[in-house]
Amino acid sequence: MDDAVLRAMQRWPNVPAVYGWLRLDRRGRWLLIDRGQPDFDERRDGAGSPITNPQILEFIARNYQPDAQGRWYWQNGPQRVFVDLEIAPLILRVLGCGAQAQMVTHTGVQISRVDYAWLTSRGELLLATDAGPGAVHDLDLGLLEFGDEAPAGLPGCLQILDKPVTIDRLGDDAPFFDLRPRPADYPVGSPSGPPLAFVNKSTRTS
């Protein structure tokens, strides 16, 4: 976490957290849900619009982590901005191919260990890594090496970082690492206020 952020937390310890303004999609894109815009409509605008400013993206990545309740958030100075997750808190990109392939999170953290793997009914590959729980980017699945040396009844085996990892099945209603994909069930039309000094900056495209 940035030193400036830590100092801001100490100086202003009681800034209320915000919910429902920041979303991470299944391809690792940060999306701003501008609930303060006039005539906001959840069905039309609830998916959010991509944040493309490189400095803001880097700032979010450096100050993104979970709390003790499994809620992931961006520490925006003295304020926590909780994130709605479409699939997982980390989206994993594959570098190289086969058993020697490397992985990096959408926030730029290199993965050095994969402990467990699950396959969902929708074909999503979820991994428990040393950086935290993540989902492999769907466009990178073809770069991975899979084997069939798994116990009977299981989907198979993932060869990654020079080791085999058995893939288990994950039911549609099964929890994935006790994550809370939507940190708060905020009432539609009455979300918490916007992130501090964030909305105007984040809507810039460069």
pLDDT of residue 45: 76
Task: Identify the pLDDT of residue 204.
Answer: 38
> With b meaning 16 or more CB within 10 Å and e meaning fewer, what string describes 120-148?
beeebbbbbbebbbbbbbeebeebbebee
Strands 163-170 and 114-120: parallel
Q: Write down the pLDDT at residue 121.
A: 85
**Which pLDDT value is given to residue 202?**
38
Looking at residue 201, its pLDDT comes to 40
What pLDDT is stored for residue 128 in this prediction?
93
Q: Give the pLDDT score at 184.
A: 62
pLDDT at 199: 39
- Other Cβ atoms within 10 Å of 99 Cβ, number: 15
> Helix (H, G, I), strand (E, B), or coil: what is residue 101?
coil
| pLDDT of res. 41 | 78
Q: Are 20 and 194 in contact (CB under 8 A)?
A: no
Q: Give me the tens of pLDDT residue by residue for the chain, a chain 206 residues long.
A: 999 999 999 999 999 998 888 999 999 999 998 877 788 777 787 788 899 999 999 999 999 999 888 889 999 999 999 999 999 999 999 999 988 899 999 999 999 999 999 998 888 999 999 999 999 999 999 999 987 765 555 667 898 988 889 898 887 655 566 566 667 654 444 345 556 654 334 333 33
CB 162 within 8 A of CB 113: no
At residue 140, φ and ψ (nearest 5 deg) are -105, 0
pTM above 0.85, yes or no: no
Strand intervals (E) in the chain? 18-24, 30-32, 49-50, 64-66, 72-76, 79-85, 90-95, 102-105, 110-111, 114-120, 125-129, 132-136, 145-147, 156-160, 163-170
Helices assigned H by DSSP within the chain? 3-11, 42-45, 54-62, 199-202
Residue of 205, 192, 188, 181 whose CA lies nearest to 84: 181
What token pair was written down for 100? 């020697």
Phi then psi dihedrals of residue 188, to 5 deg: -60, 130
